Amino acid sequence: MNATINTMNATDHDQDIATLMAAMGQAARTASAAMASASAAQKNQALLNLAQLLRTNAAALQPANATDIERAQAAGLAAPMVDRLKLDAKTLETCAQGCEQLAAMTDVIGEISGMTQRPSGIRVGQMRVPIGVFGMIFESRPNVTIEAASLAIKSGNACILRGGSEAIASNRALAALVQQALVSAQLPADAVQLVPTTDRAAVGQLIAMPDCVDVIIPRGGKGLIERISAEAKVPVIKHLDGNCHTFVDDSADLSMAVRLADNAKTQKYSPCNATESLLVTRAAAPAFLPAIGRVYADKGVEMRACAASKVMLSAVSGLKLVDATEGDWSEEYLAPIVSVKVVNDVDEAIAHINRYSSHHTDCIVTDNHSHAQRFLREVDSASVMVNASTRFADGFEYGLGAEIGISTISFMRAAP
Amino acid sequence: MNATINTMNATDHDQDIATLMAAMGQAARTASAAMASASAAQKNQALLNLAQLLRTNAAALQPANATDIERAQAAGLAAPMVDRLKLDAKTLETCAQGCEQLAAMTDVIGEISGMTQRPSGIRVGQMRVPIGVFGMIFESRPNVTIEAASLAIKSGNACILRGGSEAIASNRALAALVQQALVSAQLPADAVQLVPTTDRAAVGQLIAMPDCVDVIIPRGGKGLIERISAEAKVPVIKHLDGNCHTFVDDSADLSMAVRLADNAKTQKYSPCNATESLLVTRAAAPAFLPAIGRVYADKGVEMRACAASKVMLSAVSGLKLVDATEGDWSEEYLAPIVSVKVVNDVDEAIAHINRYSSHHTDCIVTDNHSHAQRFLREVDSASVMVNASTRFADGFEYGLGAEIGISTISFMRAAP
């Protein structure tokens, strides 16, 4: 009997969630029309309102944030995870500045390009328009609520946000500020809606409403993104992981190569844009490898080396040197570990990267113009760099404002 | 026993198809790297080679084409369907000219925009790159093989084509010419592959290989596109139907409005860009409706009218006048039928179109600048027009070369 009752309850409950999500979807679709036709001044005003509200409500947000933090601590979450939940004045100030940076950017909506007169007499051009409604599913950090909301506002889209259950109280409080900012700018509150429940069934609904949601953007761990990609009924803008490469070419300036490989690996180990694999040409290796090995040894970075590079690294005292296996070339360590491989030339480097890279960010260090051009053209990754640290792959560094997922970067080399 | 044996055969057979498609996918992925790095000159040479081969092989293609036509006739296909299979000299010449038009267009691959110097010192820009591999699934007309292949070549992509079973012999013969054209330009033959089997299991495989195929483009009937969208594991670029509107505003030039509504409806009834619904403001209706009613009556076009428009059309002799139902506003007739509705103003017209249009092509006829600008900004359709016939929605008319599906048009107002 109990089983039967539970089943019935579950069904009723699922029905409630479906009804809730359908209503949110319809409201988002309606709001998206108003957002698409909003003036740049209105959208920028909403962003500036939001920046102001984040600053003036820094104290008022604390009780909600404390609820999340206490729940997380009680549940025994690891300290770094608890830290990521914190909405302190500094985090809020960064969010506010992000909103202001977006407000200061040119509004590209309505921009017309390629206007030509055709032989028939018609004039034809292409106008940039909003997507409509995006659904965003993210984990943990509540400031993502502001980043997603601010990008939706600037780009004239509506969005439905589904944050992590750990941050539900903070997210609700932040979403209320976003809606206040929208309304103060005569924009619809429903342009940014937060899913109010932490029930997982809501995610299943959100990713399967093609009539109401045009695209889903997951931001979080590989498991989350893979699950959503497999089950979504609308396009998913995604990037699973960041196995980034730094390739040191024959003509690379040795000192620059060492500084870049150092920064790209050790400036921070956890981000998706940290270099996980070094490639170096046979000619550059004898000078480069002992030099970078010395740096890594001092910083405690383990090197997983191919046979050729191992020989050249063996004299570096104190270096953790391990034989690389085939699996290492695909690995995203997010740790003080780097794989290293000697290649013959730029061709082998490009082929290796296109095979093993996660297509996030890859860099060539070179002084050879044609190698640089070939690398930019032939490496199939979202960010392709010449003589820069892969750590620069970032929406703010690129002047594109807040990122949404790590997929702002995927837009950077949009297909024609 | 028989059942068991059949099951085993089916399993073996499915396995064969899976193996075939996986091999084609891998070959396409490999070829896509060469296509992405090919020079504009090489790609254009392949297109010019193909144009030449289509002309010189016009006679040689006839036996393969005759096989398809005889099979279709034997199967009792309707004459218009059989006609669509024909690869006569005129059709081939059109295909050849399409290839030449594409070759003459600027190559946008490698185009860099928005290059800026950032405060950190890095320089950042955005480069247009190919998509990689697209899969195209289409019905009936074999010339689509050439259109898809030529767009793949120009855009530096590889593709896997799956044509209709009715045209399999013609498609094989055309694909052989495409591969010959590629090889003559030192490009990989595998850049354009035709699925050699008509087995439906091949489609199921093609749309579920995210490692090898980046996007699927279906071109065909609504049923085909819906089925593929529901089952695909990769993004689908699609447009299901064309419920296009022509809206006659207060300030419309009466004679222009009648000519446009005439052309948009009657120039051809079957295309997706034909107007299916007329909207007219209360002020413009008394002059416009009897005039267009006269034209449609003479051409045998039935009008499904709202109550207000029916009154104004009732005096038109010989007009087939029917009461419109709610369903008519969503209908794509593809026939000598048009729905007609009187609206209060441009606001109601935009709201009606955004609700009922299939977001393909919608037009305003007006002399009011701000109404024109609002219509362009606020109507959420792939093509939005001012004072033009919706029949102009076409890749060639827009100067964008061959269309792929009807989705080239969807690209015309690409989201930011």
Q: Do A224 and A139 belong together in one domain?
A: yes
Q: Is residue A121 part of a domain?
A: no
The rounded distance, in Å, linking the Cα atoms of A118 and B396 is 10
Residue A416 has pLDDT above 90, yes or no: no
Q: Is residue B46 part of a domain?
A: yes
Q: Do B290 and B360 belong together in one domain?
A: yes
Q: What is the mean pLDDT of residues B291-320?
A: 97
Residue B140's pLDDT is 72
Structure tokens at B117: 């110097």
The last residue of a domain, from among A231, A252, A270 = A231
Q: What is the mean pLDDT of residues B247-253?
A: 97
The rounded distance, in Å, linking the Cα atoms of A188 and A192 is 8
Q: Is residue A116 part of a domain?
A: no
- The minimal CB distance from A131 to the residues B120, B378, B415 is found for B415
Cβ <8 Å between B126 and A414: yes
Q: Is residue B121 part of a domain?
A: no
Q: How confident is the model at residue A1 (pLDDT cuts 50, 70, 90)?
A: very low
- The minimal CB distance from B120 to the residues A126, A130, A392 is found for A392
Residue A191 contacts residue A153 (beta carbons within 8 Å): yes
Residue A56's pLDDT is 97
The last residue of a domain, from among A179, A206, A231 = A231
Contacts of B370 (CB under 8 A, 6+ apart): none
Q: Do B279 and B143 belong together in one domain?
A: no
Q: What is the mean pLDDT of residues A137-146?
A: 89
Q: How confident is the model at residue B375 (pLDDT cuts 50, 70, 90)?
A: very high
Q: Is residue B409 part of a domain?
A: no
Residue A400 has pLDDT above 90, yes or no: no
Q: Do A219 and A292 belong together in one domain?
A: no
Q: Do B226 and B248 belong together in one domain?
A: no
Contacts of A216 in chain B (CB under 8 A): none
DSSP letters for A177-218: HHHHHHHHTT--GGGEEE-----THHHHHHTT-TTT-SEEEE
Interface contact A132, partner B, CB < 8 A: yes
The rounded distance, in Å, linking the Cα atoms of B21 and B128 is 29
Residue B398's pLDDT is 85
Q: Is residue A35 part of a domain?
A: yes
Instruction: Identify the H or E element spanning B322.
Output: strand B321-323
Interface contact B416, partner A, CB < 8 A: yes
**Mean pLDDT score of chain B, rounded to an integer?**
90
Cβ <8 Å between B414 and A33: no
A329, amino acid identity: W
- The minimal CB distance from A127 to the residues B126, B374, B413 is found for B413
Cβ <8 Å between A155 and B416: yes
Total of domains in chain A: 2
Cβ <8 Å between A416 and B33: no
Q: Do A220 and A292 belong together in one domain?
A: no
Q: Do A217 and A259 belong together in one domain?
A: no
- The minimal CB distance from A378 to the residues B37, B230, B235 is found for B37
The last residue of a domain, from among A197, A231, A265 = A231
DSSP at B106: P
Q: Is residue A23 part of a domain?
A: yes
- The minimal CB distance from B131 to the residues A129, A378, A415 is found for A415
Look up the domain containing A297 and give its range.
Answer: 244-412
Q: Do B223 and B276 belong together in one domain?
A: no
Looking at CA atoms only, how far is residue B233 from chain A in angstroms? 7
Q: Is residue B196 part of a domain?
A: yes
Contacts of B358 in chain A (CB under 8 A): none
The rounded distance, in Å, linking the Cα atoms of A122 and A132 is 28
Residue B84's pLDDT is 87
Q: What is the ipTM score, two decimals?
A: 0.76
Q: Do B333 and B303 belong together in one domain?
A: yes
pLDDT one-digit tens code per residue, A59-116: 999 999 999 999 999 999 888 888 889 999 999 999 999 999 999 998 989 988 888 8
Residue B9's pLDDT is 58
Contacts of B130 in chain A (CB under 8 A): 415-416
Cross-strand pairs, B321: B303
Cβ <8 Å between A377 and B230: no
A146, amino acid identity: I
Contacts of A9 (CB under 8 A, 6+ apart): none
Residue A5's pLDDT is 41
CA dihedral A53, A237, A15, A195 (to 10 degrees): -10
